[in-house]
Amino acid sequence: MSNMDRRFVEDRAMRDAAKRNLMADIAHTRAGLSGSGVASRIFGRIGEGAKDVFETAKSQADDNRGIVAALIGALVLWFGRDRLMDLFGSTGDEEGENAERFDPGGLDDDRPARPKAANTHFHEDDLPGENDDY
């Protein structure tokens, strides 16, 4: 075999090896960018992060049981506040309490009613009207 033929065979072998590497890289990239590949990586990382957060919270909760119990009790009271107010006879909806803060105007023309500010220091009669001269 001549020097030229040997070199041709070596070049062809190098070309085939490079092509196999390129095709393997393309297949690997396609698998990595497929919908299931990306989703599994994202959810895998989220799951690992959630496990870490859960473990940290669990160890902190074990160390601070009193604080966790107080927090849970406060949440229960907050979500049950309406029933507790009914139980003690104070619903917050007595006549006059919300009458000053709620403007029922606009209900006839299909616009929602607007709540007024609770601490107004003026009266509606003090506002300028159509017949006021300035």
**pLDDT tens for each residue of 55-114:** 998 888 888 888 888 999 999 999 998 888 888 886 555 555 555 555 555 555 555 556
Quote the pTM value: 0.31
Count how many domains the chain has: 1
> 106 lies in a domain?
yes
Instruction: Using alpha carbons, list the distances in angstroms from residue 58 to 7, 49, 51, 68, 99.
Output: 68, 14, 10, 11, 48
Domain that holds residue 104: 80-117
> 99 lies in a domain?
yes
Residue 88, C-beta contacts closer than 8 angstroms, at least 6 positions apart: none
> 90 lies in a domain?
yes
> 29 lies in a domain?
no
Q: What is the pLDDT of residues 4-29, one digit of tens each?
A: 999 999 999 999 999 999 999 999 88
> 89 lies in a domain?
yes
Q: Is the pLDDT of residue 132 over 70?
A: no
> 50 lies in a domain?
no
The pLDDT score that the predictor gives to residue 92 is 54
DSSP 109-130: TTPPPEEPPTT--S-GGGS--T
> 111 lies in a domain?
yes
> 95 lies in a domain?
yes
Assess contact for 105 and 113: CB atoms under 8 A. yes
pLDDT above 70 coverage of the chain, percent: 64
